[in-house]
Structure 1
Amino acid sequence: MTRRLILPALALAFALGGCATTNSSNVATVGAYRDTIDLSGRLSVNYHKGGNLESLTGSFNWAQRPGNVDVELANPLGQTIATIAVTPQSATLTQAGRAPITEADIDTLTQRTLGWPLPVSGLRDWLQGYAVDEQGQRFAASPARNEVVTRDGWRLRFVEWQDPNAAQPAPRVIHARRAAAGDIQDLEIRIIVNQA
């Protein structure tokens, strides 16, 4: 798999670093951040590199447990292209027909495989409608309060909700944008979370 095809895998993995404590596993009834969730969805990534627009799409299965995250990524035809396993001790990218690539953390893994580090901070939160804002404060998204700029420079917009009338709605569509990351410009990620 080329670097081009690794990007969707690592775009999903950029936020797998932090571990929080939680207690429930049903993503459809989000009331507080949970460390144990299982969900699936689709992902599209658009960015400019060397003056060229690149676009990638795929789907994912996400299994999050206290201290660990396992992500399976598939191409638009549903064929698994990569798996990512993140633990407190390491991050491993596995692709069919290739030796696994393991590093001490997801930052080092993305630097090695992409040539630039993706920020490791948010996706564990974003998938549940949370983020850490520019001032370091905890942000809980809602239909009335759906945009935030994160501490590490991502502009998030929670576009659609699983149940917009829930006390703390779970996001269904998330747009994330960052002006620059290494030699990548205008990085945009669109995440669609399937309803649990």
Structure 2
Amino acid sequence: MPKNLIPLTALCLALSACTTVPFSAGQAPSSQSVAPYRDQIELAGRLNVVYQKNDKPESATVNFTWQQTAQRTDVTLFSPVGSTLATIAVTPQEAVLTQSGKPPRSAPDVDTLSSRLLGWSLPVSGLRDWLQGHALAQDGQRFVASPQNDQVTTKDGWRLRFVSWQDGSDTAAGAPPRPRRIDAERNASAQADAVSLRIVLDPVTSASAP
């Protein structure tokens, strides 16, 4: 081989080796789906919502904690400075929303209740699935997300995208990927106003993983 081709060959080999680097932080193996759905979880994070009020776009950003069991979901919404804005308790029988300094209000449907009291709809029933990377798809089939299969339209008209995933350092080695950021959007209809949500979940530590 001519001497002047040796450095070029070495360079090509080095470049080809660079294409096989392992997944960096925040990425997960694209062939692996999220873990099986669990009835009982505890999560926290931040939520940004854009919605329509009096035909004008409005937005809000809140922190939240989320606790669910098979029969109940409890959500607490906090302002960016940490004061409690509202608590929501949902059971199969009713949803109860309590705002600071106001008496509790209840209704059978939490989406309608939150829309009326907060100004925007919080789809708690859907979020029980979405926060774990699951959903009920438009065709009625169960959807299970993965970094390679990260978008779905739900049966009730929400367009979901699982934008990013928990950093691998936050979960046990070899554990299934967990959602980090979820974008959800719903167009206006006769039954509901247009709204879009951006949800960013706090890291899940290995101690809290199943």
Taking structure 1 as the reference length, what is the TM-score of the superposition?
0.75
* Contact 1:119–1:152, Cα closer than 8 Å, also in 2: no
Show the counterpart of 2:58. Answer: 54
Aligned AA for 1:184?
A: D
Instruction: From the superposition, tell whether residues 167 and 35 of structure 1 become closer, same or farther in structure 2 (CA, over 3 Å).
Output: same
Tell me what 2:187 maps to: 179
1:131-172 Cα distance to aligned partner (Å, 9 max, x none): 111100100111000001111111100000115795642100
What residue in structure 1 maps to residue 16 of structure 2? none
Report the residue type matching 1:75 in the other structure.
S
Q: What is the CA–CA distance in structure 1 between the aligned matches of 2:121 and 2:202, rounded to whole Å?
A: 28
Answering whether residue 151 of structure 2 is matched by residue 142 of structure 1, we say no
Instruction: Work out whether residues 74 and 82 of structure 1, in 8 Å CA contact, stay in contact via their aligned partners in 2.
Output: yes
1: CA distance, partners of 2:102 / 2:38: 34
Matched residue type, 2:152: V
- What is the aligned residue count? 166
RMSD: 2.4
Letter in 1 for 2:65: N
Asked if 2 retains the 8 angstrom alpha-carbon contact of 1:81 and 1:96, the reply is yes
Identity within the alignment, %: 54
Establish whether residue 194 from structure 1 lines up as the match of residue 202 from structure 2: yes
Identify which of 102, 109, 113 aligns with 2:106.
102
The alpha-carbon distance between structure 1 residues 117 and 132, as it changes in their structure 2 partners (threshold 3 A), is: same
TM-score when normalising by structure 2? 0.71
Task: Work out the CA distance in 1 between the residues paired with 2:129 and 2:148.
Answer: 18
Task: Indicate conservation of the 8 Å contact 2:152/2:161, yes or no.
Answer: yes
- Cα–Cα, structure 1 residues 117 and 160, in superposed 2: closer, same or farther, change >3 Å? closer
Higher share of residues assigned strand: 1
1:126 correspondence with 2:130? yes
Q: Larger radius of gyration, structure 1 or 2?
A: 2
Gaps of 5+ in 1: 1-29
Gaps of 5+ in 2: 1-33, 205-210
Aligned to 2:73: 69
Q: In 2 relative to 1, CA 162–54 (structure 1 residues): closer, same or farther, beyond 3 Å?
A: same
**CA distance 1:178–1:108, shift in 2 (3 Å):** closer
What SS class does the counterpart of residue 122 from structure 1 fall into? helix
Equivalent pair of 2:47/2:200 in contact (CA under 8 Å): yes
CA 1:167–1:145 in 2, change beyond 3 Å: closer, same or farther? farther
Q: Evaluate the alpha carbon distance shift between residue 163 and residue 139 of structure 1 in structure 2; reply closer, same or farther with a 3 A threshold.
A: farther
